Each structure stands twice: as structure tokens, then as C-alpha cells.
């Protein structure tokens, strides 16, 4: 497993940790936000925080695609799943996300036909195999997963599959980043940029971060060595007085992204006027909807959806966690009313969510980080 082990080499890691230590000023804390949930997961799974000096504080960002889906949309998906003759297919980690009316797993237990798939193409294959049922794919994710949905839509149209649709919840990465950057009292000095999203949109897409907001960003891959190297690159930028977009994930990410993937998205989807984000509220032009030309495959046109806006539970502070204003354990219900077993907020649902990752892997380190929050 060459490609796994070489990015997890302990000696390389120690070398990078030493470099990071040499780049910080003692006592001066740099707050680095990793935007992507995949990064959050990797940081906790490999215990990376213990390799960092106390002057580097990681803040977990909004890039967990499951975590940002509002409860009302989950209820809409459940309504589709509970329609007679309909099968709802979606990714595994969406199944446990609570809506106002329970989760998809609970709907499945009540008798709804909910199936887990690994790709929207698997959902299309289901539709081909079971022509007597309507198969709806509950599409979520940033620009990362949108191209696969786009290709599936194009294929469904080319093959004239009559019993397939997509409930489109694809979101864009730039709007929530702007919300974070415009948060009063912003606690983020530098960004580790998302890797998989960037393979599609390219590293140039983040130029607004240094240019408009004066924060450096390094697009990073997902292995522990990648993350340490990206943090070192950010600190070097600061030490050298630079503030720009850099790309650590050069083995996959290009400045201009992937033109074919972008073209597929553009051919099938267009920006929505606005979209509600869990914890962040309604953000203009922050999500994608299916183009009119593909209306025959658009679940939002085919089904009557409740479309309700459901307030997040009052005690839940997912929004502040997602924007890096508080650490997971600073939320009053963290680990008490809200646990991975019974999540109140979505940050506790997916293992990529900041709260769940912290609860499952990191809660021992709390005293050390708490001490720093006050600093």
C-alpha cells in the first residue's frame, strides 16, 4: 500500500513538526482553519494536534457536506422516501442525520425504501434494474461530488431513464468561506484549503481569500504528512511576509481545476437564488439546482415537498462551531444532550463533523486546548 504508507511516514512527520516549531514565535498563537471535514477527520485519526506546538491552534471549518444540510431538507428527503413506489438512494453518512421528523434510518425502520449507495451512478443502475420503482438520488456535497451527479443526470437523459430523479442539495464552497471571513472578531489567521473540492474548482478559486481578506491559504491533500506540510507552508508564508494561494496537493490539483468536471456541472446545474445552510442561515447563490432542461429528472419539480424551515435546536451552537467561533466543547450540549449516538446538531453526526471527530478521538486533549482558548 505504497500510497498510504509513504504519506504516513513517522520520520517525515517528525521532520515537518520540527520545521513547524521553528516557524512559530513562542507565545504567539496562529489560528489555522482546516476548511474540509476530511482534514478534520484525518487530524484526529492520526493524532496530529499532538505533533504541533501550542502556538498552532487548529480550528475546524464548515467543509463537512453532511453537516451543512438543514433539517428541513432532510425532512423533504424523508417525504420523498415515504412516497409509495419510491426508493431513495443516498450516501451512507447522510442516513443518520436528524431532521425535524427523525432520520432516514428511522424512516427506513418505519417502512420507507432507503438504500445506501457509493455513487449516483449506482442509484441510476438501481433505477434500470427496478423499472417498476422510481429511484430518487438524494444528492449532497460541495463541488467535489457535483460532477458525479452531473454525469449521472446526463446519462439518465441520454438513456431516457423514465424512473430516475435527483433531489439536488449540492452546495458551493465560496459562500460559507466568505461568511467566515466576514464574521466579526474572526479567529482565523490562515486556511488549509480543501483538497477534493479543489480538484474540481482549482486552486485559483481561492484567490479572493488573500486578495480581499488578507489571509493565506494552502490547498492540501488528506494524508497526515500532507497536512503537516501545508501547515508549515502557511507558517513560512507568514514568516516571509507573503499572503497568497499555494498548492500542496500538486499531485492532483491544478490552478484552473478540472474543466470537464466544471463543464458537466454547468450543463446540468445552475446557482439557486438562495439556500439554507445548517448553522449559517440562508446564503444567496450558495447552492446549485437542476437546470430547467432536465426538469424531468428534478425531484423538486416531481414531488410535492414540505419545504419547511426548521429552526436548529436553541441549545445547539453548530453555526458557531462551523465558523470557528467556538470549539466543540464550548457548546453547552456537547457530550451531554448531543452525542454521536443522539446528535442534536449535524456537527455531531458525520465522523467528519468537528464535534463528532472531537468527541470520538480527541476529548482527552481538552485541558490543553482549553488553556489556549483563554490565551
Binding site for another protein (CB under 8 A): 1, 4, 8, 10, 13-14, 17, 37-38, 41, 44-51, 65-66, 91-96, 105, 116, 118, 122, 140-142, 144-145, 196, 224, 340-341, 350-352, 359-364
Beta carbon nearer to another protein, 145 or 163: 145
| Contact assessment for residue 183 and residue 177, using Cβ atoms and an 8 Å cutoff | no
| Contact assessment for residue 148 and residue 168, using Cβ atoms and an 8 Å cutoff | no
In the complex, least distance from residue 36 CB atom to another protein, rounded to whole angstroms: 8
| CA 201 to chain CA mean position, Å | 15
Beta carbon nearer to another protein, 2 or 292: 2
| Contact assessment for residue 278 and residue 169, using Cβ atoms and an 8 Å cutoff | no
**How are strands ordered across the β-sheet holding 113-116?**
113-116, 86-90, 134-141, 164-170
Contacts of 349 (CB under 8 A, 6+ apart): 66, 67, 93, 96, 97, 98, 340, 343, 356
Which residue has 419545504 as its cell numbers?
A: 307
In the complex, least distance from residue 77 CB atom to another protein, rounded to whole angstroms: 15
Q: Give the Cα separation of 310 and 149 in Å (integer).
A: 26
In the complex, least distance from residue 33 CB atom to another protein, rounded to whole angstroms: 18
In the complex, least distance from residue 47 CB atom to another protein, rounded to whole angstroms: 2
Q: Give the Cα separation of 181 and 185 in Å (integer).
A: 10
Beta carbon nearer to another protein, 50 or 244: 50
Beta carbon nearer to another protein, 66 or 302: 66
Beta carbon nearer to another protein, 39 or 215: 39
Q: DSSP letters of 230-245?
A: HHHHHHHHHHTT---E
Q: At what angle do helices 259-268 and 146-158 cross, to 10 degrees?
A: 60
First to last CA, the chain: 42
In the complex, least distance from residue 240 CB atom to another protein, rounded to whole angstroms: 27
In the complex, least distance from residue 92 CB atom to another protein, rounded to whole angstroms: 4
Beta carbon nearer to another protein, 47 or 162: 47
DSSP, collapsed to helix, strand or coil, labels residue 31 as strand
In the complex, least distance from residue 353 CB atom to another protein, rounded to whole angstroms: 11
Beta carbon nearer to another protein, 128 or 207: 128
Q: Give the Cα separation of 105 and 111 in Å (integer).
A: 10
Amino acid at each position: 500500500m505504497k500510497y498510504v504508507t509513504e504519506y504516513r511516514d513517522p520520520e517525515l512527520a517528525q521532520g515537518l513538526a520540527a520545521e513547524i516549531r521553528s516557524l512559530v514565535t513562542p507565545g504567539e498563537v496562529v489560528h489555522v482553519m482546516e476548511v474540509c471535514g476530511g482534514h478534520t477527520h484525518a487530524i484526529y485519526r492520526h493524532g496530529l494536534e499532538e505533533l504541533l506546538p501550542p502556538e498552532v491552534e487548529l480550528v475546524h471549518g464548515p467543509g463537512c457536506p453532511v453537516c451543512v444540510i438543514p433539517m428541513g431538507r432532510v425532512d423533504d428527503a424523508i417525504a420523498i422516501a415515504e412516497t409509495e413506489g419510491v426508493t431513495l438512494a443516498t450516501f451512507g453518512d447522510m442516513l443518520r442525520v436528524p431532521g425535524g421528523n427523525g432520520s432516514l434510518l428511522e424512516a427506513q425502520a418505519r417502512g420507507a425504501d432507503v438504500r445506501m449507495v457509493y455513487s449516483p451512478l449506482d442509484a441510476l443502475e438501481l433505477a434500470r434494474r427496478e423499472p417498476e420503482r422510481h429511484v430518487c438520488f438524494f444528492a449532497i456535497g460541495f463541488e467535489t461530488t457535483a460532477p458525479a451527479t452531473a454525469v449521472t443526470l446526463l446519462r439518465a437523459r441520454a438513456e431516457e431513464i423514465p424512473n430516475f430523479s435527483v433531489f439536488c442539495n449540492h452546495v458551493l464552497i465560496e459562500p460559507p468561506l466568505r461568511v467566515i471571513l466576514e464574521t466579526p472578531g474572526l479567529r482565523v489567521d490562515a486556511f488549509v484549503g480543501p483538497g477534493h473540492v479543489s480538484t474540481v474548482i482549482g486552486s485559483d478559486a481561492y484567490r479572493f481569500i488573500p486578495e480581499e481578506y488578507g489571509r493565506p491559504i494552502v490547498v492540501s491533500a488528506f494524508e497526515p504528512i500532507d497536512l503537516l506540510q501545508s501547515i508549515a507552508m502557511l507558517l513560512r508564508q507568514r514568516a516571509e511576509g507573503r499572503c497568497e494561494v499555494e498548492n500542496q496537493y500538486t499531485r492532483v490539483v491544478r490552478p484552473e481545476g478540472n474543466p470537464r468536471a466544471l463543464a458537466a456541472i454547468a450543463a446540468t446545474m445552475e446557482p439557486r437564488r438562495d439556500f439554507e445552510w445548517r448553522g449559517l442561515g440562508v446564503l444567496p447563490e450558495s447552492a446549485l439546482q437542476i437546470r430547467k432542461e432536465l426538469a424531468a429528472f428534478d425531484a423538486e419539480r416531481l414531488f410535492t415537498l414540505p419545504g419547511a424551515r426548521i429552526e436548529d435546536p436553541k441549545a445547539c451552537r453548530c453555526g458557531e462551531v462551523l465558523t470557528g467561533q467556538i470549539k466543540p466543547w464550548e457548546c453547552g450540549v456537547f457530550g451531554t444532550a448531543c452525542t454521536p449516538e443522539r446528535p442534536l446538531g449535524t456537527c455531531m453526526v458525520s465522523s467528519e463533523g468537528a464535534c463528532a471527530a472531537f468527541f470520538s478521538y480527541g476529548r482527552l486533549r481538552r485541558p490543553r486546548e482549553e488553556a489556549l482558548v483563554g490565551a
